[in-house]
Amino acid sequence: MSHREHVEESLDAIRRSKLNAFITVDYEGARRQAEEADAGELDGRLAGIPIAIKDAISTKGLRTTCASKMLEDYVPPYDAFVVKKLREEGAVIIGKTNMDEFSMGTSTETSFFGPCKNPWDLERVPGGSSGGSAAAVAAQEADLALGSDTGGSIRCPASFCGVVGLKPTYGRVSRSGLVSYGNSMEQIGPIARTVEACAALFEVIAGYDPWDSTSRDVPVPHYVARLTDEIAGLEVGVPQDFFGEGVDPVVENATWEAIAVLESLGVHAKETSMPNLKYALSAYYVQAMSEASSNLARYSGIIYGHRVQKDHDWHTTFSENRASGFGKEVKRRLLLGTYALSAGYYDKYYLKARKARALISRDFQRVFKQFDALIAPTMPYVAFKIGEKIEDPLSLYKVDINTVPINLANVPSLSVPCGRKGRLPIGMQIIGDQFNEQLLFNIAFQFEQNTNNTCAL
């Protein structure tokens, strides 16, 4: 099959789709890139492969909206660093995927362009905030996708949609060109249907970017070549703090069954405890909302972005632009973040959250002196129904309870399918020490090769 024929299959799937996984599809550009690949004008490790990009990542000449009315018509004049690397390797950028507005959500229901749907059950959410990317990959509307993860936004939809998703170590992948939500925690990462494909995409996007002050100059291994490395003898911790109240017994059992598979491959698993994880959810949301209130201050509609029809005085115009340009959840988080940073409350909320984050990081440092990796459920339950939690913000925030500790500690975590509840996928996350993504891929690959949990529609 030619690259053009393969890309056309993806475009046809998108056209027929009921998922609403894409905000913008570059039909002409994708076909042109595929033809260039067929003609040998594009070469590289990803030549001719259709890739979907989360709509928070800048793409030159292709609309980047962050799923918000505020940026509904914004077309970036530059590519994000990771998009440049994809183009250098011949990838076909097929379009921009649906997401929670400005990455603020866990279900892809806060999008200005309407909710994305789960490919396994159209009445359920795909997870968020990178829900469109995971849904597109699961439904074979794209071979690979990029998402971003600030508190679980790659791993949550990977788990709910039954695909593989990696939240890398902070600094491993450039954030240049990513529209920021929470600067100190977010990372761009790969989503794919298999561990090998996920590792191949990560191998391309990882690496140092001198234009990103948070980027770390650390060598990038040949992840795919080392997937068959031996995992027998590894010491794996199972923190009971990830199996607390609210975790569905079916999800818990699936995770333990997956651990049993790893034990049959020679991995030694042992229960452990990380007592400071109880502070993670509240610490994360205080800090993330505070960073968001600062990051989104630039979106005023004065220089660019959504602007009301009639101008008033500066303060009124500024307020009306933001009131009509942002959705309800974004406004809620901006208000809470501004409050946490305000005089008289900074020490009470933001500073306390920073201290809690330090305690959580120490918990991870301690367990990684004893264990090579940790294993836990990615999400406490399977995908819930659209509309079930969106009017109850606290209930929706609690969905992130197993993913946010990883972002607070800036360590990597890989979500891989490990079972099902009915038709709905279940994911487990394999967590490693900083810059140890290779080990996570190796464990996940061996697990995948010895089970039948790859979820393909």
DSSP 344: T
Q: Left (φ > 0), alpha (ψ -120 to 50) or beta: where does 311 sit?
A: beta
Q: Which residue has the tokens 């905030």?
A: 129
Residues 276, 353 contacting (CB under 8 angstroms): no
Q: What is the pLDDT of residue 113?
A: 98
pLDDT confidence of residue 199: 98
Residue the block writes with tokens 């079972």? 419
Residue ranges of domains in the chain, CATH in brackets = 3-205 (3.90.1300.10)
- What local confidence, expressed as pLDDT, does residue 455 receive? 59
Tell whether omega for the bond before 129 is within 30 degrees of 0, i.e. cis.
yes
Question: CA 192 to CA 166: how far, in whole Å?
Answer: 9
Q: Reduced to 3 states, what is the DSSP secondary structure of residue 298? A: helix
- Edge-first strand listing for the sheet containing 50-54: 22-25, 92-97, 50-54, 144-149, 187-192, 164-167, 413-421, 424-432, 373-377, 235-239, 268-272
- How far is 24 from 30, CA to CA, in rounded Å? 12
Which among 388, 66, 363 has a CA at the least distance from the CA of 239? Answer: 363
CA–CA gap between residue 353 and residue 151 (Å, rounded): 15
Q: DSSP string covering 62-125, please? A: B---TT-GGGTT---SS--HHHHHHHHTT-EEEEEE--SGGG--SSS-S-TT----BTTBTTB-
Instruction: Say how far apart CA 399 and CA 105 lie, in whole Å.
Output: 10
**pLDDT at residue 339, as a whole number:** 93
Of 191, 127, 139, 142, nearest to 164 by C-alpha is 191
Q: Angle formed by the axes of helices 27-38 and 3-16, to 10°?
A: 160
Q: Which residues are catalytic?
A: 54, 129, 153
CA distance 167 to 78: 24
- For residue 192, what are the contacts with CB-CB under 8 A and spacing of at least 6? 137, 143, 144, 145, 163, 164, 165, 198, 200, 201
Residue with token string 């042109």: 32
At residue 112, what is the residue type? Answer: F
Q: Is the separation of the CB atoms in 246 and 377 below 8 Å?
A: no
Gap between the Cα atoms of 433 and 440, Å rounded: 10
Give 38's contacts (C-beta < 8 A, 6+ positions apart): 2, 3, 4, 48
Distances (CA, A) of 454 to 22, 31, 192, 445, 457: 23, 29, 11, 11, 10
Tens-level pLDDT at each residue, the chain (457 residues): 999 999 999 999 999 999 999 999 999 999 999 999 999 898 899 999 999 999 999 999 999 999 999 999 999 999 999 999 999 999 999 999 999 999 999 999 999 999 999 999 999 999 999 999 999 999 999 999 999 999 999 999 999 999 999 999 999 999 999 999 999 999 999 999 999 999 999 999 999 999 999 999 999 999 999 999 999 999 999 999 999 889 999 999 999 999 999 999 999 999 999 999 999 999 999 999 999 999 999 998 887 788 887 777 777 887 888 888 999 999 999 999 999 998 888 989 999 999 999 999 999 999 999 999 999 999 999 999 999 999 999 999 999 999 999 999 999 999 999 999 999 999 999 999 999 999 999 999 999 999 976 655 6
Q: CB of 182 within 8 A of CB of 284?
A: no
Q: How far is CA 375 from CA 127, 278, 410, in A?
A: 20, 17, 16
What is the C-alpha to C-alpha distance for residues 169 and 166, in angstroms, rounded to an integer?
9
